[in-house]
Chains A and B, each alone.
Chain A
Amino acid sequence: MIEFKEVHKWFGELHVLKGITLKVAPAEVLVVCGPSGSGKSTLIRCINRLEPIQKGELIVDGMRVHESKTHMTKLRAEIGFVFQQFNLYPHMTALQNVTLAPIKVRRIARKQAEEEGRRVLAKVGLGDKLHQYPAQLSGGQQQRVAIARGLCMKPKIMLFDEPTSALDPEMINEVLEVMRNLAREGMTMIVVTHEMGFAREVSHRVAFMDFGELIEIAPPEEFFARPRSERTRLFLSKILTH
């Protein structure tokens, strides 16, 4: 579904991805962790070319993302992206936020799109917030609207960039719950997160990144019980003690 082959990325002089090779299968849930600045957010931002790569190959759903002639708007419609800061449209209600792309990109009739929007918002527990503006919603609610916005496009892949990092602790679980359900339904997901409980419970594999390199990737039982790299051990000891 997603394949990185020796992918390199630079921000000017800064080498942020150093030869990433990685394959994600359909219906797989991959959690990516690592210290800040390790390149994990950049990794998933490359998948829908929010960041272009400079070297290597990146093939997503059969499309060659690394080639500049590849038309991204079509592929992006198939990939939901959830941001750390939600990035909901502040001038639109929850329902308008989730129906904009289905109406304008998929060209679905407004009535039908709104019906679907209502259904998806109800599914993430916001059936009573359809006509609220983002500023009237809590952080957890906003992030669930953001997930619903992705889901309304019926994507093949969902990418999550630290979806709970900007949330108050008591709101983290309501967002994770939505993501758990999504994983159970067989969605292909890459989740950048420090929520190791979520990784242990839901993911098929966990990857650890540091300094732009993919240090280690393994099923969660193995990843947490017997990390092979010293750097992974060090990171886990820091993150799991609190």
Chain B
Amino acid sequence: MWLFYIEQLLGSLPFFLKGLWMTIAVSGLSLLAGTLVGFLWGILRASRSRLLKPLIGAWVDLVRGTPFLVQVFIIFFILPEFGIHLEAFAAAVIALTNLAACFICEIVAAGIESVPPGQREAAASTGLSGLQQLRYVILPQALRVSLPPLVGQYVLLIKDSSVVSAIGVVDVTRVGWLTVQRVPQGLLVFGLVALLYFIICYPLIRLSNRLENRMSAGYTRSRD
């Protein structure tokens, strides 16, 4: 019996690979855009801007304080009421980009705030402009602190992308749902789904650990 199901499952492997590709497309696009937006928000959040800082803070809290599934529904089902019509794929990417941006914003802001104020003072007192201080002195040090949790966050976000299957995006999770209706072996089907997620996430987990180790080694590597 098992052998029969495994055979059936192998038969739908192309379907799974298509789903995997969709998962990679949704998460890849969202992580890329979310990283860009998240860095911008994070820099503004760590700045002294009296308007943007609390505004971004409130938005991040709102997004972090509501379920991702609900956010996806709002974007997909409620926006059309206001005349904004979105394909499931676009809605998924927008929702996940926003989620990614919010988490990355917090990581980046924390990284910037971990840089001692004396660094900015030293850079400012040599005549570097605000942007130059950020680019050459603050961000390189902030990134060192932020990189391990950033990569860790990528793993969480890739897994969160499974939620978009609820609005009909045919990602790996959705493929699992569809397949299990033909192959009534939940363990087998979702075992395969889990394995496919794991294959994407595991290298990132390893990378995060390696970055963590490198960071705790401190600034001691010499060039001579």
Contact B220 A77 (CB under 8 A): no
Within B126-159, the residues touching A (CB, 8 Å) are: 126-129, 132, 136-137, 140-141, 144
Interface-facing stretch out of B72-80, B101-109, B115-123, B189-197? B115-123
> Does B82 reach chain A (CB closer than 8 Å)?
no
Interface-facing stretch out of A24-32, A81-89, A219-227? A81-89
Total interface residues on B, CB under 8 Å, equals 25
Contact B220 A135 (CB under 8 A): yes
Contact B219 A83 (CB under 8 A): no
Contact B121 A50 (CB under 8 A): yes
Contact B126 A101 (CB under 8 A): yes
Total interface residues on A, CB under 8 Å, equals 32
Contact B126 A132 (CB under 8 A): no
Contact A150 B118 (CB under 8 A): no
Q: How many A-B residue pairs have CB under 8 A?
A: 80
Contacts of A93 in B (CB 8 A): 223
Contacts of A81 in B (CB 8 A): 121-122, 125-126
From A79, A80, A87, A104, contact of B128 by CB (8 A): A104
> Does A36 reach chain B (CB closer than 8 Å)?
no
> Does A74 reach chain B (CB closer than 8 Å)?
yes
> Does B50 reach chain A (CB closer than 8 Å)?
no
A132 to B218, CA, bound (A): 14
Q: How far, in Å, is A230 (CB) from chain B's closest CB?
A: 35
> Does B216 reach chain A (CB closer than 8 Å)?
no
A76 to B133, CA, bound (A): 13
> Does A100 reach chain B (CB closer than 8 Å)?
yes
Contact B219 A134 (CB under 8 A): yes
Contacts of B126 in A (CB 8 A): 76-77, 80-81, 100-101, 105, 149-150, 153
Contacts of B121 in A (CB 8 A): 50, 81, 83, 87
- 10 A-B pairs within 8 Å (CB atoms) are namely A85-B118, A88-B122, A91-B144, A100-B128, A100-B136, A104-B128, A132-B224, A133-B221, A146-B122, A149-B122
A-B pairs with lowest CB-CB distance, top 9: A77-B127, A101-B126, A87-B122, A81-B125, A87-B118, A105-B127, A76-B127, A90-B219, A131-B223
The chain A residues found within 8 Å of chain B, CB to CB, are: 48, 50, 73-74, 76-81, 83, 85, 87-91, 93, 100-101, 104-105, 131-136, 146, 149-150, 153
